[in-house]
Every structure is written in structure tokens, then in C-alpha cells.
A = this chain, B = another copy of it.
Amino acid sequence: MSLPPPGGGTAPGPRREIRPQEARADAAPPSFQEMWRQLGSIGRHPGSGGYRRYAWTGADTDCRAWFQEQAEARGLVHELDRNGNQWAWLGDPSAGDAVVTGSHLDSVPDGGAFDGPLGVVSSFAALDELRGRDGRFTRPFAIVNFGDEEGARFGLACVGSRLAAGQLTVEQAHRLTDADGTTLPQAMAAAGHDPDTIGPDPGRLARIGAFVELHVEQGRALDLAGDRVGVASAIWPHGRWRFDFRGEANHAGTTRLVDRRDPMLSYAETVLAARREAQLAGAVATFGKVSVEPNGVNAVPSLVRGWLDSRAEDQATLDTVVRGIEEAARGYADAHGIHLDVVRESFTPVVEFEHALRDEIVRLLGKEGEERDARLRVPVLGTGAGHDAGILSASVPTAMLFVRNPTGVSHSPAEYAAEDDCAAGVTALADVLEGLACT
């Protein structure tokens, strides 16, 4: 079977029936377990046991090669888009109204195995399951691997989807720099990707009729309720604020306490205030990243820079939490003679996933669940994490499925989902794709 390259008109053409079998390669593609094993060795740090798959590094290249192999093993047409996102197509993308699933393969520093890869591996496995059911696709279908979702290297999450959706301008992207001073365009070029082609890709997004991202849950809501799979209602509004506490560098051995302007004290008080404010509001607030100057054992710091990450169910609550933390920090800083600057580095308002698509997914899964397995209730839940699905939701009808995480631990080597639950996730995704894209 020969597929034309993507491009051309974006208006949906007449529906053509696509049989999954058409595209099947001769050898059976790798099973879920085989794919999991293949990915498991890429970018794993032997010391921490966690993954270090950062955008445009060698580990990232290895993940991308793996994705292309999976596409080709299933007879899908592999395509790398201008913004570094990978697509594996079944059917003619130019026909429009495509059903797309997928996630990302990059990781946070010392991240777990599931955040991102579970969605990509489950997408390939769900296609295999659909082929086993002998369903017939009536819409073009693709699996996607979004580039640089975690933002571990350049400090901004979802770069691939943001660029495509026009939520990150080319100028802003050019200013992104990693810890070694390498810019995003330099990193792309070093990995063999032409950085001059990045930018909004509305034609591509217009050809997508629905995007469904499966993801390991990053909290314990499913586990506490005893459910294996859930559907996302919304992504909480969230933001990052940089707190710069500036004092005066001084000798730690000879400077009397009363003569000090030590910004570490105000920082410490603010860390505790953040926890208190979040607790009172039922929100979350975290200082997880710190940078100190000069960062010498025998020096009172001149600068302590702490990054606050805060999220809440709604905007008003988040505003209350962040305002409370900032007011407390200003009081502490004033008391120690510290100069405080607070800069909002990023902000994402609440993302409500499209209700029609969400309700359709709940209907598709609920029906199956009642008939087959009483445990497969499908709760609808909010999440504090950002995702490519959240970025795309401004341009495309978008939904998310979550798979149970028994400890809720994420962004850590301890991140985990049981094999049974992963299998339930694959089946749920196959059910959704069948309902959306097949006769």
C-alpha cells in the first residue's frame, strides 16, 4: 500500500474505508511487552535507575529511531514534522478528520518509565488489538510522538506541540537555551533537524478530527477509588513563578549575624509559607528548583533563586494561593533587608477538554465496561499536570485517558503501573479508537 505524503487541502474528503490489514507488514509487530523492553534500555541512568531522555540528545535520537521502527513494522508511513514531532500514518492524512493518538517519549531528569512512553506504546498496541478485531477504519489514523514535552533541557514544556499550535513563537523558541548555553536551534541542528523550518503548522492541526492521549495517572485518584482507567475532565490552571531573593555575599565565619543580609533565611520561610497556603486552599505549591550564588560553603549567599510551581482546581483558588505566598515572602524579605523580585515565568489557564468528545468516550467505555467487567467504571477526573493534549485542545477536539498508578508517584524512577492496568488501558484505547474511527 502506498500512502501519499501529508499536505494539500485540509477539507475532509469523502470517507474511504481503510482496512487495518491493508497496512500490516509481513512479520507480527512487537507485543506490548516487547516494545516496553526495547524502550526500557534507552536513556536509563545506571546510577539513579531513572531516565534522562532530553530533547535532541542521543537518547532522544534513539527513542525516535525506535518510534520509526514501530511505525514501519506496522506498515504505517513515518513522517517527521517541521517542529520535531513524529507521526505514523494509516490512511491519507490529506483526507482530513483524522483520529490521532499518542504521547511523548522524552523524560524529566531521572524520570520514570511510564510518563509519556505508556501512551506511545499503548497506541501501537491498541492498533494491533484493533487489527485483531478486524475493524475497518473510516477515517485516517495516526500515532504521534510529540517532541520535547517535558521541557527538561530548555525549561519550557510541550515545545513540539506549542510550536505547531502557534502557542510558542519562533522568536521565543530561538531564545530557549539549555544549562550549557546551547540554544534550541543549535541543539536541533546538532541532531540533524533543520531549525529554520519550525513554526505554526495550522494545516496539520486542521486535518485532525480528534486527538486522544493515554497517560499514566500522576496522582492516586484512580487507585483510591479502585478504578483502572479514567477520562480527563480538565487540566488545572498552573504556573511557574521565579522568586529572586537578593542579599549580600559575605564571609560565613566572620560576619556577625546582625550584620548579615542572608537571602537563604527568607527563602526558607517562603518554602514553608507555600506549603501552608496550598494546604489551606486544597491546592499544590512546590519549590523544587533552587539556584544559589555564589553557592559556597563558607559564603553567606548574595542570591537565592527559587522556583514556585503552583496549581489549583480553579483560577480564583490559584490566585489566592500565589498571592498569599508572595505577600508572606515580601514580609520575610523586608524583615531581613532582602530585595525580592517575583517573576511569573509561565502560566496556563484551566483547560476544559471538549465535552462532546469526553462524553462520547465515557459512553464508548462505559458500555463495554458494564457488559464485560464490573470493575471497569470510568470516572472523569481533573489533573494538575500539563500535557500536549492540553496544548492541542485549543485547536483540536482533544481527550485524555488515565491509567491507574498505585502509588501516585511520577517524575521519579518509582513511577509505576501494573501490567494488568496497562492492558486495561490498551483495551480502553482500542475501544475508543474503534468507536471513533472504525465502522
Contact = CB atoms under 8 A, between A and B. Distances in A.
Contacts of A188: none
Contacts of A109: 293-296, 299
B252 A288 contact: yes
A124 interface: no
Contact of A255 (B253, B271, B297, B409): B409
Interface of A: 50, 108-110, 115, 152, 155, 157, 217-220, 236, 238, 240, 248-257, 259, 262, 264-265, 267-269, 271-272, 275, 278-279, 284, 286-290, 292-302, 307, 309, 311, 383-386, 407-414
B412 A249 contact: yes
A284 to B, nearest CB: 6
B264 A278 contact: no
A410 B290 contact: no
A288 B264 contact: yes
Nearest to A240: B297
Contact of A411 (B50, B250, B286, B409): B250
Interface of A is mostly: loop
A301 B284 contact: no
Given A264-B288, A269-B272, A292-B289, A254 B298 contact: no
Nearest to A306: B264
B240 A411 contact: no
A289 B284 contact: no
Contacts of A264: 271, 286-288, 290
A311 B412 CA distance: 38
Most chain B beta carbons < 10 A, residue from A249, A279, A289, A407? A249
A100 to B, nearest CB: 24
